[in-house]
Chain A
Amino acid sequence: MGGGGEASVQIDEPVLRKLIRAVADTVIAHADELTTLDQAIGDGDHGINMKRGFEAVLADLDKIAVQPLPKALHALGMTLVMKVGGASGPLYGTLFMQLGKSLPEQPTLADLTAAVAAAVEAVKARGKSDVGSKTLLDVLAPVLAALREGGDLLHRLPEVADAAADATIPMRAVRGRASFLGDRSIGHIDPGARSSALLVRAVCEALRAVA
C-alpha cells in the first residue's frame, strides 16, 4: 500500500503469504471467543465456522498466495464461501471477492479506499443490511471513514475497528438470528463486528511488520 504518507509496501508472494497467515491465525486463535459471543446472541457457531473457513484457507495457502493480489483475494473469498457455512461465509466471502474485483495488483491508498467502499456496499447487498443493525458493517463502515481521513492508518485503523466493535454492545439486532432476541440482543458485542475488528487489526499489524 503506498501514497497518503503511508510507508509503501510492495505486495508480492511473501507479503501476501504473511498477510493471509496473520489473518487466518488471528481468527483461529480467537475462535472460542467468537463462539462465546455468538452463544450470547446468535446460534453459537460463528467461531467454529470462521475457524473452519480459515483452516481451509491455510490448507490452500500455497495455491492462494502465489497468485496476484486480486486473484488471491478472490480465491480466499471463494474458500470462505464454500467452507465457512452459516451467513458469515457468504458475507466474508463477498467482502474478499469484492476487494479482489476492485483492487489492482499493487494498490495505492486511494485504490484501497475505493475497494473497501465497494466491498462495504457488496456486504450490505449480500446481507440486505446497513449500518446500525449490529453487524460487521458497524465495523467496516467506520474503518472506511478512517481510510478516507488518512493519517497513521496502520496504527489508527485497529483502534477505530475495536472501538466500533465495542459500540455494537448497546445496539439492537435487526438481522440474522440475533434479531429473534429483540431487546435481549442489547448488551452484547456482535460476533461479526468482533471478527471484523480482528481481521482489520491482523492486516494492519502484519503490514506494520513488513513496512
Chain B
Amino acid sequence: MHRLLAIVPAYNEAAAIAATIDDIRRKAPGWDVLVVDDGSTDNTAGRATTTGARVIRHPFNLGIGGAVQSGYLFALENGYDYAVQVDGDGQHDAGYLPEMLGRLQSSQDLNMVTGSRFLAEDREGYRSSAPRRLGIRAFSWILSRITGRAITDPTSGLRMTDRHGIELFARDYPHDYPEVEAVLLLHAHKLRAEEIPVRMRPRTTGRSSITSSVSVIYMTKVLLAVFVGLFRTRPNVDPGDNAAVSAEASL
C-alpha cells in the first residue's frame, strides 16, 4: 500500500479550508491531508485542526514556495510515496486525484502530473483573468521551448509527484511564484512531467497571493530566474552536492 499525502498550502483561508479538506476526504479517501498554514492571521489552522487534518503552522508568512516545500519536507520525513499539492482556497477539484495517481503509477518513467486548465476542449471552468492568461501564455511558450514538451499551464498549482519529485522538492524548491521554476527544476533533473486536462473553480473566498501590482515584479523575477537557469551547467542540487544555500563558500 502506497502512502499518499495531499499538501494543502493555505494563507488566510479560514472560510474555505474545511470544505477543501472535506472535498479531498470524500473524493480521494486514500490520501492523508496536511495543511500548511503559512502564517495566517485568521483561524485557518484552527479550522483545519478540527477536521482532523495534520497541520503545520509557520510562525510567519513564507510565501507559497516556502509553504509547499514545508509539505514536501514532511512527505520526505514521513516516508510518503506520492504527494499532491491542492490549493487551500477550493479552486482545485479533488475529484482529479485518482486519475492523476493512476497516470503516475501506470507509466514507469513519469514523475509529475499537473492539472492543466487549458487542455480541456470545452473551455469551461475557471481559466484565470485575461491579463494573467497573457502572462501564463508567455511562460507556457518559453517553458515549452526550453523543455521541448508542450506545457500548457505552467502556473497550475495542482500537481502530483512521486518519490523522486518529493525528494527533489524537499531539497530545493523555488521561492516566489514557484510553479514555473519548478517545471524547469524537474526538467533539469531529467524527471518527466505530464499534464492532464482539469477544470478549476473560481475562488469563492479569500484573496489571491498574487496581486496585479506585484505580479509584474514577479514575472520579471521569474523571467530572470528562467533566463539565468539556462546558463547553469549544473543547475540544481543532487544528493551529495553542496547545499543549495550554504554559509560555506560565501563571500
**Do they bind each other?**
no
